Structure 1
């Protein structure tokens, strides 16, 4: 049986709240020194942003994501919305400002050291709670099986999270690093995905009397990528999170979920940009995981 023939999870509606951008990616032979003039080895312009990337991953895996975010009515904003919609992301909850600028990032990908450096310009005006009407919020959350937050636009995120709690919708937080308002979101979260350094930051917060940590901790090992196949790590964490969101909707056990998410993230690192390498549900590299989760759901 191919992955295409397997039905996606029944709980398919996922809501995300966070940032989207346009990424201007320039790959170079080696990172430039101050005052250098160099040429790119390749160039790509595509959508980015943590929430935009994660929900694109979710859509390609067969779920139905809705995204709460904000752009301006400029060319970049139109491009962001068009790219998300082409991938199957519902952008109806978006706020679109008249004037201002949509968020964008310049990203330098160092082919020699396999690193990426990002210079981000936030969107203006920034997203505020008034940008999301009560009707739009309720419509976005209708039928949702999980709500994901990338830890940004924290004031709007707080309102969305509180409504999700009232509706008993599970919440997943991207805890990449300590951000304003993140501790309040974590208090409402059912799941948190953190970077390797974040637990140390939380320990420091707790020492100062801020925040609590409880629950179960799962540790996963990243998939090793041969140096010849590693192209760009931009968006690897977002791909991992998107795969975890899918796995939760598919009732994957942790011992399957974590290797699956690592596989999706590794696939994404084999192409330039945060979305180019995101695998689709039909990708043969995912077949064994999808078959396992299908068997788990059927026999439970």
Structure 2
């Protein structure tokens, strides 16, 4: 673990739940009866997973969420506490069907009820949760409570990382306050209505003036990151953003099995019909996990985000951060569920990053 991260507090606000993981030979057809090849009950929820990852990497996470005093709720608390995560109706739970053939997963989520509201979070508890925090993370859920937490974080100059899986109620209000954004593959174009992902990333930085970087995760195809730059000079080259991405893609080392990162120089990135932003474009590759080792992708995005939280706290360079996050996500994919395969900071596979 980086010494810079010792006793570093990270706060998350969002979903914690229980996952019921059914592993099947192939996804069932309508009206078909099949049997599981194995079954596992494990903690889930984007915030629960991302902060469990952060805890194993060496951070000290606190979660603002809500569970009920029922079987699922008690299991959520037990597992988070076992991983060193502090947690400040019915509890949420998710059925996860893992297809052994395609290595894909299908999630059927049942939200908790009643949902968490700002009245459920006393000001004293909020201040305690944020005390000493280096960064705050939101997964887009519990939007009314999350907005209260976000405004308090801004007052205290605590940076915000926003996870955007899909369009959600209240999402824009928190995005306007965010310093960093990590998106699922479909989100940038859905939010901006841009014709390509690179154009959408330019649009996001133009609309959200506070954002330092935005990352879009692409599963086995790695990720793309656009970092805002304030070093624009008179000689800074201007280039169409799609063309720049294409040129970076050609530099990928297709034979490498470990995560790599290709980056542009500081460039005026132009998106036709949208505008121009000065920044650097990064292309991160995913680890090439052998088919015999690839077990389950559930929670891979959460592992990536937990790693980004750590990397920000440890002041990693963007190149190091993207390779680190890809390595942690790949480790997670080698075991069933969102948490079983999450590595600890002592894992030999992370040794080069933790120096």
TM beyond 0.5: yes
- Higher RCO (Cα < 8 Å, 6 or more apart): 1
Structure-2 residue corresponding to 1:242: 306
| Alpha-carbon distance, 1:221 to partner | 2.1
User: Which runs of 5 or more structure 2 residues have no equivalent in the other structure?
Assistant: 195-199, 214-225, 227-281
Structure-2 residue corresponding to 1:53: 49
Structure-1 residue corresponding to 2:327: 263
Matches within 5 A, 1:178-257: 178-204=167-193, 212-214=207-209, 215-216=212-213, 217=226, 218-257=282-321
Distance in 1 (alpha carbons) for counterparts of 2:187 and 2:64: 25
Residues 130 and 219 of structure 1: CA distance in aligned 2, closer, same or farther (over 3 Å): farther
Deviation by residue 1:188-212 (Cα, 9 ceiling, x = unmatched): 0000001222221232299xx9991
Structure-2 residue corresponding to 1:294: none
Distance in 2 (alpha carbons) for counterparts of 1:166 and 1:22: 33
Structure-1 residue corresponding to 2:72: 76
Distance in 1 (alpha carbons) for counterparts of 2:8 and 2:283: 26
| Alpha-carbon distance, 1:178 to partner | 1.5
| Alpha-carbon distance, 1:11 to partner | 6.2
Distance in 2 (alpha carbons) for counterparts of 1:176 and 1:219: 20
Deviation by residue 1:196-241 (Cα, 9 ceiling, x = unmatched): 22221232299xx999145541442222211111110000000000
| TM-score after normalising by structure 1 | 0.89
Q: Report if the CA contact (8 A) 1:129-1:155 is conserved.
A: yes
Q: Report if the CA contact (8 A) 1:146-1:171 is conserved.
A: yes
The secondary structure found in structure 1 opposite 2:354 is: helix
| TM-score after normalising by structure 2 | 0.75
Distance in 1 (alpha carbons) for counterparts of 2:284 and 2:183: 11
Residues 42 and 8 of structure 1: CA distance in aligned 2, closer, same or farther (over 3 Å): farther
| Alpha-carbon distance, 1:9 to partner | 1.3
**Please, which moves more after superposition, 8-17 or 31-40?**
8-17
The secondary structure found in structure 2 opposite 1:251 is: coil
Distance in 1 (alpha carbons) for counterparts of 2:192 and 2:59: 35
Q: Report if the CA contact (8 A) 1:11-1:145 is conserved.
A: no
Return the structure number with greater strand share. Answer: 2
| Alpha-carbon distance, 1:133 to partner | 0.4
Distance in 1 (alpha carbons) for counterparts of 2:284 and 2:208: 19
Structure-1 residue corresponding to 2:273: none
| Alpha-carbon distance, 1:38 to partner | 1.1
Matches within 5 A, 1:115-130: 115-130=104-119
CA RMSD of aligned residues (A): 1.8
Deviation by residue 1:51-98 (Cα, 9 ceiling, x = unmatched): 00000001001110000000000011011001000000011x2xxxxx
Return the structure number with greater helix share. Answer: 1
Distance in 2 (alpha carbons) for counterparts of 1:12 and 1:136: 19
Structure-2 residue corresponding to 1:25: 21
Q: Report if the CA contact (8 A) 2:4-2:313 is conserved.
A: no
Structure-1 residue corresponding to 2:135: 146
Larger gyration radius, structure 1 or structure 2? 2
Distance in 2 (alpha carbons) for counterparts of 1:9 and 1:155: 30
User: Which runs of 5 or more structure 1 residues have no equivalent in the other structure?
Assistant: 94-99, 292-300
The secondary structure found in structure 2 opposite 1:245 is: helix
